[in-house]
Structures are given as C-alpha cells and as structure tokens.
C-alpha cells in the first residue's frame, strides 16, 4: 500500500524530522505494506501502522535503509505489538523517528554508527528473556525519550550507549523522561538500566545528557546509571526503591547534578577525575550517600593495557558540593580495599544528617579539602578532620517527602565557598543567591520548579 495524503491518520503523532513543510502520511495494515511504504518514503513522510500484533518473520526484519527524515508511528501508543526475532533494522539512514510501538522481540534493537539522529520515542520495551541488551546506541545524536523499559529478569542492560570501533563513543545522546522499572536479575552485576560506555571507551568524551528519567525497583545491578565514558551530564533523575545507584565507574569530567536517590541500596559512587557532584539529594539508602572511591590505578591513559584499563581509576580533582545526604548508612564514605587514594578533592558546603553510625568514614584523608559542611543528628561525626560545624538545619518535610530548609535554618547563607561559576540554581530549580545555603536546597517559600519524578512524569504518556 502506498497511499499518501496531507493528513495524518487518527492517532498518529507528528514528529519533527527537520522539515518545515507539511508531512505526507501513509497508513499500513501489514508488514508487507509497511516495508513497501518505508522503501518509497521521502523526507517528511509519516507512516502510521494500524493497531495489532505483528509477528516479524525470522530473517526478514523491517529494514530501514537509506531513508532520511521519516517517521514511523503506531496508530495508538502501545497499540502495535512487534514480536519475533527482530523488529526494525536500520542502516545508512538519518533523522528517523520510531514512536508508539510495543517491542517484544528476542534480540537487541540497535542504532548503528551510520545512522545519526535516530529517535526512539513513546515506545514500550519488554523484550523476550533470550534478549541480552535491549537497545544499543552507536550512532551520533540519538534521542531516546519517553519510553518504558520494564520487567527484565535476565542478564543484560536495558539501554547501552556505545560507539564505533572499540574506543570511541556515540556523540550527544539524549536520554530523557524514560521509565526504567522492575529489573530483577539476581546476580552481582550485569543488569544495569543504563550503561553509558564501557571500560575501553572510558577516555572518550560522549557528551551525553541523561535527565528527568525515573528508576524504580531496578535491582539487576548496584549501578542504575553506570557511567563508563567522559564528559556527560547526569541530572534531574529520580532513583527510588532500587538496588542501583549512580556510579561514575570509568571516565572523567562528568557532572552529576540535582538527582534524587530515595529509599534504595546505593547512592553516588565515584572514580575518575574532574567530576562535579552538586545539588543531589540522597535519602535513606543502605550505603553511604556518597562514596568517594579508591583506585587500583592513579589514572587511565591512552594505550593502556586492557588488564589495567578495567581497574578503578582513583578520584582526582573531584568536587562534591551543595548536596543533602540524609539518613543513609553514612553520609560520605571512602574505600580501603584499593591502595591508590583520592587526590586534590574538594568536599564543601554539604548537609550531612543521620541518626546512627558515622557520618564520615574516610580511610584516606590526605588528598581531601573540607569546608563549610554542616553535620546534624544522632550520628557521630566520624573522622571528618575539620571544615564543618554541627548546627541545626531545621529540615522540614514537604508534601513530596523531601526535606528542605525551614525558617531560621543555620544552613542559610552559610556556604564557605563561592559556587557561582559552578551552579546557578538548587535542587528545586530555584535560583541560588550568594552567599549560597548549605546543602541541595536554597531556602525559598516559592513552589519548586523541579521535584522527584513519579510514573506520570515519564514513559509513553509523559508531557
């Protein structure tokens, strides 16, 4: 079928693919018609697939080859179910959007290196148990937004960002408002929701942005967001009730900002150099809120033997500022199982609150600079050497369960350092004014611009 009109059929969603002219549209009701429509599509075409379950034959996937600027959309979100070994296989294409499908295939969906600017949006991913990794991105400028990844019980990652060759990273991937939930793989590792790189690619700058995603019951790995590349932004995400935390496992110069980690097993864990950890809120996790790791290596380097590349790079020049760490199993801890200590790291103007144990437990102290931190609660100070006061921040719970500064808080205007070159707003998205308040919250009576995410904020029906 090759019917074209100037109207998009009922239920379709127009997606911008770089054309300012009205889009053509075709509606198809079979895989054969879909393939024919793809093969003849030109820039600006929207192909709508009628609702139903489509079994893609083994060895005959839906191929998107040499197509540019097209959109393929389900008639209604989740109304088109694709089963079989494969679904879409892309090659030599660009500016292609795939929207609204329920993927139930048994092998990985891949965005290859010769396919830039591919968008996966408002889809539902629940691949068969035989599938390892579910989605792998290798092409530049991919956008993965408003999808749900759910109910995986086997080894493998929901979303992998890779790249060409063995060392490069896909550039500028945008991962936005996705819902990652219910990964129950029970082994020690290998079940991350997001893996952003791998040890061999650690020194490559990916410039990825991972923001406004929700992670719930992600128990397939201690790492919900596993960063193994450089130059990325991990911000405004919510991790709730999950084993996984945010881990800078490999790579340098990453920014972790404004994330909520709530009622889980792990907080934020750090290796590598020149990271900024700012405005994060970690509450009631089973580990320390922040773990500043130790290393098997001082630094990774180009041409390094693979035997050492997989080791832990000791943190150098890491800045940990303006975070609120409340009622965790420690606030800021280190590691003693590796022998290369952190070096030239700054820990300043954080709010550390707890009722039991030690707030700080750092086996290596020589490479750390402390200032302006506030400690409070029944927990002991631990071995923090200086750079703190013990005063009441007067935390008050909001309707969202987040504890913010109350009137008359000793944390107000108490920051020791000038952070104006690093951050301009707080956890809530409200402006910071100098001198900054200690912790993730700048005291305000205005409504929050950002807040912890819930299921309605993410996935196929997200705004």
pLDDT tens digits along 180-216: 999 999 877 899 999 999 999 999 999 999 999 999 9
Compute the distance between CA of residue 262 and CA of residue 160 in angstroms, rounded to an integer: 24
Residue 140 reports pLDDT greater than 70: yes
Decide if pLDDT at 17 tops 70: no
Q: What is the pLDDT of residue 24?
A: 82
Q: How confident is the model at residue 305 (pLDDT cuts 50, 70, 90)?
A: confident
* Residue 61 to residue 296: CA distance in whole angstroms: 45
- List the domains of the chain with CATH numbers: 1-104 (no CATH), 108-457 (2.160.20.10)
In terms of Cα–Cα distance, which of 215, 206, 259, 274 is closest to 241?
215
Looking at the predicted structure, is the pLDDT value of residue 3 above 60?
Answer: no
Q: Which pLDDT band, with edges at 50, 70 and 90, does 16 fall under? A: very low
Interatomic CA distance for residues 386 and 376, integer angstroms: 15
Confidence (pLDDT) at 188:
75
Instruction: Write out the two tokens for 58.
Output: 């083994």
What is residue 12's predicted lDDT score, i.e. its pLDDT? 39
Which pLDDT score is estimated for 163? 98
Q: What is the mean pLDDT of residues 60-69?
A: 98
Residue 187 is predicted with a pLDDT of: 79
Q: What pLDDT was estimated at residue 186? A: 84
406 has pLDDT over 60: yes
pLDDT surpasses 50 at 416: yes
Q: What is d(CA 37, CA 97) in angstroms, rounded to the nearest whole number?
A: 15
Residues paired with 144 in a beta bridge = 120, 175
> Model confidence over 315-334: pLDDT tens digits?
999 999 999 999 999 999 99
Mean pLDDT of the chain: 94
Apex 444 CA angle, 439 and 448, nearest 5? 90
Is the Cβ–Cβ distance between 96 and 67 less than 8 Å?
Answer: yes
The string of pLDDT tens digits covering residues 213-271 is 999 999 999 999 999 999 999 999 999 999 999 999 999 999 999 999 999 999 999 99
pLDDT at 31 over 60: yes
pLDDT above 50: residue 453: yes
Per residue in 187-196, is it b (16+ CB within 10 Å) or e — as a string? Answer: eeeebbbbbb
Give pLDDT, residue 169. Answer: 98
pLDDT of amino acid 21: 47
Task: Give the mean pLDDT of 407-429.
Answer: 96
405 pLDDT more than 70: yes
Q: What pLDDT score does 23 carry? A: 60
Contact 151, 182 (CB under 8 A): yes
pTM for this predicted structure:
0.94
Chain centroid offset of residue 360 CA: 27
| Range with lowest mean pLDDT among 10-19, 284-293, 449-458 | 10-19
């Amino acid at each position: 079928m090759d019917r074209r009109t100037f109207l998009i059929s009922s239920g379709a969603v127009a997606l911008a693919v770089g054309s300012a002219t009205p889009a053509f549209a075709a509606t198809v009701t079979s895989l054969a018609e879909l393939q024919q429509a793809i093969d003849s599509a030109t820039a600006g075409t929207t192909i709508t697939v009628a609702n139903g379950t489509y079994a893609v034959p083994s060895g005959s996937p839906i191929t998107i080859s040499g197509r540019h600027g097209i959109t393929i959309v389900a008639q209604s979100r989740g109304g088109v179910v694709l089963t079989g070994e494969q679904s879409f296989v892309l090659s030599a294409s660009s500016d292609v959007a795939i929207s609204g499908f329920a993927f139930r295939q048994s092998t990985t969906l891949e965005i290859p290196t010769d396919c830039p600017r591919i968008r996966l949006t408002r889809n539902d991913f629940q691949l068969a148990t035989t599938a390892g990794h579910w989605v792998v991105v290798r092409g530049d400028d991919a956008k993965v937004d408003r999808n749900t990844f759910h109910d995986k019980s086997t080894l493998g990652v929901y979303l992998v960002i890779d790249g060409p060759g063995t060392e490069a990273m896909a550039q500028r991937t945008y991962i936005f408002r996705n819902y990652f939930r219910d990964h129950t793989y029970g082994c020690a590792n290998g079940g991350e929701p997001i893996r952003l790189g791998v040890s061999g690619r650690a020194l490559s700058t990916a410039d990825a942005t991972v923001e406004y995603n929700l992670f719930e019951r992600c128990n397939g790995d201690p790492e919900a967001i596993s960063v193994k590349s450089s130059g990325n932004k991990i911000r405004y995400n919510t991790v709730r009730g999950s084993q996984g935390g945010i881990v800078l496992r490999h790579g340098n110069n990453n920014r972790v900002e404004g994330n909520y980690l709530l009622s889980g097993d792990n907080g934020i864990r750090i290796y590598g150099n020149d990271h900024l950890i700012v405005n994060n809120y970690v509450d009631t996790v089973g580990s320390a809120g922040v773990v500043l790791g130790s290393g098997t290596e001082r630094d990774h380097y180009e041409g390094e033997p693979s035997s050492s590349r997989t080791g832990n790079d000791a943190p150098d020049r890491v800045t940990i500022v303006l975070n609120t760490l409340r009622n965790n199993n420690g606030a800021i801890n280190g590691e003693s199982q590796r022998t290369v200590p952190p070096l030239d790291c700054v820990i300043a103007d954080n709010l550390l609150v707890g009722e039991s144990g030690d707030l700080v437990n750092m086996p290596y102290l020589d490479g750390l600079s402390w200032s302006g931190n506030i400690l409070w609660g029944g927990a002991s100070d631990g071995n923090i050497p200086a750079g703190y006061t013990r005063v009441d921040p007067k935390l008050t719970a909001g309707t969202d369960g987040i504890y913010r500064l109350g009137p008359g808080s000793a944390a107000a205007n108490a920051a020791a350092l000038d952070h104006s070159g690093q951050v301009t707003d707080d956890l809530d998205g409200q402006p910071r004014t100098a001198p900054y308040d200690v912790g993730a919250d700048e005291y305000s009576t205005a409504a929050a611009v950002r807040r912890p995410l819930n299921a309605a904020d993410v996935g196929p029906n997200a705004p």
